[in-house]
Amino acid sequence: MGRAFAAACTVTLITALTAFTAAGCTNSVGDGPRAAHPEQDSVHRSVEGQERDLTDAEEVLVEHAESMLVKKCMEGKGFRYWVAPMASVAERQGNGYVLDDVNWARTYGYGGEFEKKAERARLADPNAAYANALPVADRIRYTKTLDGDLSKGELSVDLPAGGTVSTTSTGCLAAARGKLYGDAATWFRVNKIATSLTPLYVPHLVKDPRFVKAVEAWSRCMRKAGHAYASPDEIREERHALAQGMSAARAHAAEVQLAVTEATCAVKTSLGKTARALEREYRAAKLQRYSEDIAAYQRMRLGALARAESITDSEA
């Protein structure tokens, strides 16, 4: 999972189970070693029985291929376009409900350096600088060429928890996704559904006595270590304020110390393990209605991975 990569729900740092109900992302509630997404894999198989999610490394590849396709499309329309740097595998880890990967925490804390890196990249984005330097008429044409024009084609989908989201079916982004996923309209639908399911089960999960007991045990462990937090989301709410007035080096050291303590307590109390197990259980119980959409989402992502390998190989 990523802090900086541009995909569904990836620009928002999911910090608490309670926040999931508003954010509507499919990110895992736990956060152990994350070279892949084994807990998501199990969750989805419990609903559908055959597909799998992409690993973090595979997501990097797919996103890079999409950016390459957008570049080719934009250049074909007479504009310059730069392929954005992709967030690394490490950057995609560590932002679940609770940290329980001590090694990741010891190295990256809460990923504060990744957040700074992402902000620097945003401010130095050559595509934004290029677009802003264009004459007004060309800038408008650039935007419509990239993002599309709703008046010329619109896609919409009703979300599982209510509401409707729409996007344009035209433009280089839509064209790139069509080539990568095979069908832009179907991809938009299953992607939005599959990444908006947490409000259907998280409210039940957070009330489960097993989850409540695990959080309480984690909190007691944290207090014994000198950090009085009732839940991991309290840390997420306060961690930036804790570093105010510190030098960059001291802030990072404090972040790492707190993150390691959180992860150590999560391992000791099995909070991350419990949260992941409950997520699998509740997804299996609550999401049967969307099993076909979840399976289609995963199949299309796997198809995109195969195409991405070919696309990126052509760049070498």
User: In sequence order, what E strands does the chain have?
Assistant: 154-158, 164-168
What is the pLDDT averaged over residues 80-85? 94
Of 51-55, 150-154, 178-182, 242-246, give the lowest mean pLDDT range.
Answer: 242-246
DSSP annotation of 167 reads E
| pLDDT for 191 | 97
Predicted pLDDT at 243: 82
Computed on alpha carbons and rounded to an integer, the radius of gyration of the chain in Å comes to 21
**DSSP symbol at 161:** T
121 contact partners, CB below 8 Å, separation of at least 6:
4, 84, 85
> What is the Cα–Cα distance from 234 to 240, expressed in whole angstroms?
11
Percent of the chain at pLDDT exceeding 90 = 74
Quick one: residue 148, left, alpha or beta (phi over 0 = left, psi -120 to 50 = alpha)?
left
Yes or no: say if 20 and 29 are a contact pair by the CB < 8 Å rule: yes
What's the distance, CA 62 to chain centroid?
14
* 126 vs 39 pLDDT, higher one: 126
> CB neighbours of 24 closer than 8 A, spacing ≥ 6?
9, 159, 161, 195, 196, 197, 198, 199
Residue 314 has pLDDT above 90, yes or no: no
Sequence-separated (6 or more) residues with CB below 8 Å from residue 78:
none
Average pLDDT of the segment spanning 236-252: 88
Q: Specify the length of the chain in residues.
A: 316
- State if pTM tops 0.85: no
**Averaged pLDDT for residues 23-36:** 39
Across 245-253, average pLDDT: 90
Confidence label for 4 from pLDDT (cuts 50, 70 and 90)? very low
Residue 17 has pLDDT above 60, yes or no: no
Give yes or no for residue 9 having a pLDDT over 50.
no
Instruction: Name, of 20-29, 33-42, 46-55, 120-129, the range with top average pLDDT.
Output: 120-129
Whether the predicted pLDDT of 182 surpasses 90? yes
Count Cβ atoms within 10 A of the Cβ of residue 206 and give its class: 0-12 exposed, 13-18 middle, 19 or more buried: buried
Provide φ and ψ at 64, rounded to 5°: -65, -45
Query: What is the CA angle 278-161-297, rounded to 5?
Result: 70
pLDDT at res. 313:
83
**Mean pLDDT, rounded, for 58-76:** 97
Q: Tell me the pLDDT band of 51, cut-offs 50, 70 and 90.
A: confident
- pLDDT, mean of residues 209-226: 97
Instruction: Identify which has the larger pLDDT, 279 or 84.
Output: 279
Measure the CA–CA gap between 237 and 245, rounded to whole angstroms: 17
Q: Is the pLDDT of residue 81 over 50?
A: yes
